[in-house]
Chain A
Amino acid sequence: MGELIDLAASVLDLAADGEDLEVYGVHTLATTVQAGAGGTIRRVDHAETRGIGIRLFRDDRVGYASTADLRRSALEVSVGRARANARASDPDPASQPPEPQLQERRDSLPVPLSTRPLDNKIALLTELVAATEGMDSRVRAVDTAEYHDERREVAVVSTRGVRARHERGRCEVWVDALGDHPAGRAIDSGYWSGLDPGEVDPEAVASEAVVRTTRLLGTHRPRPGGLPVLLDYVVVGDLLAAVGRACTGGALGTGRSPFAGLSGTPVGSAAVSLVDDGVEVGGHHDDEGIPRRQTTLIESGVLTGVLHSAATAHAMGDGSSSTGNARRVTHKSAPRAAPAGLRLGPTSGYRQLLTDVGDAVYVQQLTGAGSGINSVTGRIDVGGIGWLLRDGEAAGRVATISLTTDLVSFLQTVTHVADDARLVQDLPVSAGTVGCLPRLLP
């Protein structure tokens, strides 16, 4: 790693007169180890990805191309394709190359995982599976346990003078525990993420999986009405991710958001303060090379902020500037405004939350969240899997809950945000337990 920015910069001289080029390079090294019941190692994957994404600007038009073939001839072909694509696009004054906002940075965040031998990763998983399967007789077996580490280098350069590079590492460990009960099976996970796999406590991850799974075992009882609702951090993560998507310039600027036209007005209860903190979790610059920052989206229930890429900021036509929220999923993706690190400001400790709400319905999982939470209309039509909280303890599984509401109504029912926030798997969200008024559930 390290020569990526020079490779990306070498493409810039292919720009013709009157053109601007932006070149995005990515190089990822990743290892995945997967184990099953009894600690059997099913597979080990080594992945190394390199790719270049090209964005060509000319006369208010933009064209895109990408390639995984990094030879000079392939890069020339890709620039030619981007040029042809720009010619076929419609002109749009918002299609302007981002201007540099920082001097060249070559940031490297700690990546201790890169030096860890494969045998240690396998031993960690084996220990995790043994701990999970030996903890509670109601857990029949581990379904899957997985270790994943990744080291990712990103470089962004442009003919306008953007020149940024960062290198980041991350590591994840999770385990699915499969529980049995005459009334039905249940499955849930324990999860850890961080930078140094040496910090993983297999007992703690196993315990989380076992506790979450066994709470869902038992006869499904009808849900009592009129109780406050506690939302698990995973559930909160799904809901906040949709709120974040609805707060992007692309959504608000085109009216594809339940928050369109509501800037400066209350969209949630006073307990809701939502920020997007790209610096903490997303590296120092976004995928257009613009410095990341912290953006307050909702303050004490009032909608105050928007997440912008360079293009969505231009499109506003009111002098807005990028908030450093451009994101490309891969080098093949166009940059779009997206949340980098959402989190709710806490209003109470977790114990205080339990004391305040008393008996409650705890929603631990959502079913149908992928399609049942619509960030355009704000509709929430999903199923909820949960249990009854009585005297601070889990007191039995409740029948599947129908959660049919909308994002604004959800935010308006929030009474407590606990201080137990943690990163949610696969989402740009740190979330903790949230307490809501009984009317969240019909």
Chain B
Amino acid sequence: MTGEESWVDPSQLAAVLREGRRSGGRCAEVYVEGRATETIRLDGGSVSEIRSDLDLGAGVRVISDRGRSGFAYTNVLTTESLLETAQIAAAASGSTAAREDVPRVDLRERPVQPVQWAVLPSTETDAAVTVDMLRAVDDAARSADRAVSGVQGIHVAVTQDVLIATSDGALRRDHRVRTRVTCRVTARRDGRLRTGFAGPGGGCGMELYEQYPPATIGAQAASRALRALEGGEPPTGPMPVVLGPAGGGLLLHEACGHGLEGDGLARDSSVFAATAGRLVGSPLVTAVDDPTVPRAYGSYGIDDAGTPGQATPLLDAGVQVGALTDAETAELLGRPPSANARRESYAHPPITRMSNTCIVEGQDDPAAVLADVRAGVLVVTLRGGDVDIASGEFAFTASEAFVIENGRVTRPLTGLTLLGNAQDALASVAAVGDDLALTPALCGKDGQWVPVSYGSPTLLVTGLTVAGG
């Protein structure tokens, strides 16, 4: 726990909100956060880093009558410091007309349904227990093959308590926990050096290791590195691509999800800005963003502006039906807020972001999807990629891929890149499996990193170009 109960008193927050409005703001918000982070790193078989970080602060945002946002924050949670922060935020918002008639804000606590919880809180677990888990990850990776030349395991556990008060009188609290373990393996053979990665995580505590046993994590990362050592050059050109749940999920997140974030839509800079209500994808594709998925890595009970979490349909049978918004972008787009205001910490203003984004399960058997491909590639995981949201063009690099020949998965591939266009890719989804799985990740935008997850069932996509070699 971060001791959230002792940080601030609601009467303090009411005074801060009043100060923000008294200084000319149309509305104000205070975001108070306490965060404890435990990081343990095992590198080369040795515990090289154990760290404990405590962070505590409050961010104040004031919106002026002209819609301009002013933001300021402080690490010092005294009434004097918080009031000064509100005055700075109000001045930054361009508010000029000071008002003395602003009524006192009567804050009332609103219930929040927690969606992340720990049975075994990671930040209260003895470091020696976690070190044992990491050693098991390390042992499994090293014992996979003599070609394994390096193993790095990192355990990161976060406990985050959030308190958000808004000038409409709402006071909400959210308790969030996240645990993630990552394993990076390097393998070397005949002068060739390749890497493999595994990184499960969730909105939970040490029970993560029950769902993902350490030996499985190490073995998975090692097997990916070893397969990459054996990988051959990919075939190139347009061809059918089967994407596994992690691969399809990242493609959705980058190629579609970012394009449906309210800021890009409101500015008309997204390729999806002109296609609301239109068919932009295959009728097989239904996609949703849902921060209420229990114990998922990107979940929250309230977003970082205090709006209760809710699922937002993005695509319905290929039709663009939704947008990811906060209060400001929702107003600009004429939509209700979708609870997608997120921030890295109290030191950052909220911006529109995804939470847990996925393509909804279809009805195809993944094995049958593969069996129907005469010549193509299977991309199990993508290492990453990015999209030009203006044009929709993207490039993604595969971290695990195979050739498909006559419906059978044959040899591994290395250096495979997928090139395409977001809307063309969505439109060319020819099959959707019934094996949805979520993958945890950290998503970066405008210099802020937030936890998310993405996923899809197995997909068959025909509108992609395979490059590499």
Contacts and interface: CB of A to CB of B under 8 A. Distances in A.
Interface of A: 36-37, 41-51, 62-70, 74, 77-78, 81-82, 84-86, 88-90, 92, 118, 141, 143-144, 176, 178, 184-187, 254-256, 258, 260, 332, 334, 365-372, 374, 376-379, 381-383, 385, 400, 402, 404, 442
B188 A255 contact: yes
B218 interface: no
Top 5 A-B residue pairs of the complex, sorted by shortest distance between their CB atoms? A371-B384, A383-B395, A402-B467, A64-B51, A44-B92
Contact of B347 (A49, A118, A381): A49
B88 interface: yes
Given A90-B48, A376-B195, A187 B269 contact: yes
B54 A376 contact: no
Contacts of A48: 72-75
Contacts of A50: 75
A74 B52 CA distance: 13
A88 B385 contact: no
Given A186-B388, A255-B186, A332-B51, 6 more contacts: A64-B49, A68-B75, A85-B52, A255-B149, A377-B186, A402-B236
A260 to B, nearest CB: 8
Contacts of B193: 255, 258, 260, 376-378
Contacts of A368: 384-386, 394-397, 417
Interface stretch (B63-71, B313-321, B454-462): B63-71
B186 A185 contact: no
A385 B127 contact: no
Contact of B415 (A46, A255, A376, A381): A381
Interface residues of B, number: 70
Contact of A332 (B53, B236, B416): B53
Contact of B349 (A43, A184, A372): A43
B127 A185 contact: no
Interface string B397-419: 10000000000000000111101
Contacts of B394: 367-368, 383
B44 A404 contact: no
B390 interface: yes
Contact of A385 (B44, B149, B393, B416): B393
Interface of B: 37, 43-44, 46-57, 68-75, 88-89, 91-94, 127-128, 131, 149-150, 186, 188, 193-195, 236, 267-269, 271, 347, 349, 382-391, 393-397, 414-417, 419, 444, 467-469
Contact of B186 (A86, A256, A371): A256
B52 to A, nearest CB: 4
B267 A377 contact: no
B213 to A, nearest CB: 22
Contacts of A63: 50-51
Contacts, number: 213
Contacts of B468: 381, 402, 404
Nearest to B94: A41
Contacts of B57: 68
A44 B94 contact: yes
Contacts of B71: 43-46
B47 A382 contact: no
A47 B343 CA distance: 14
A402 B467 CA distance: 6
Contacts of B396: 368
A46 B92 contact: yes
Contacts of B46: 90, 92
30 contacts: A44-B70, A45-B72, A46-B88, A48-B72, A48-B74, A49-B347, A50-B75, A63-B51, A65-B51, A65-B52, A68-B54, A68-B55, A69-B54, A69-B75, A88-B127, A143-B390, A185-B271, A185-B390, A186-B390, A255-B193, A332-B37, A366-B395, A367-B387, A371-B385, A372-B385, A378-B193, A381-B416, A404-B468, A404-B469, A442-B469
Contacts of B150: 254-256
Nearest to A63: B50
A89 B417 contact: no
A332 B156 CA distance: 13
A383 B391 CA distance: 14
Contacts of A65: 51-54
| Listed residue (B73, B390, B415, B468) with the most chain A CB atoms within 10 angstroms of its CB | B390
B397 A144 contact: no
A88 B131 contact: yes
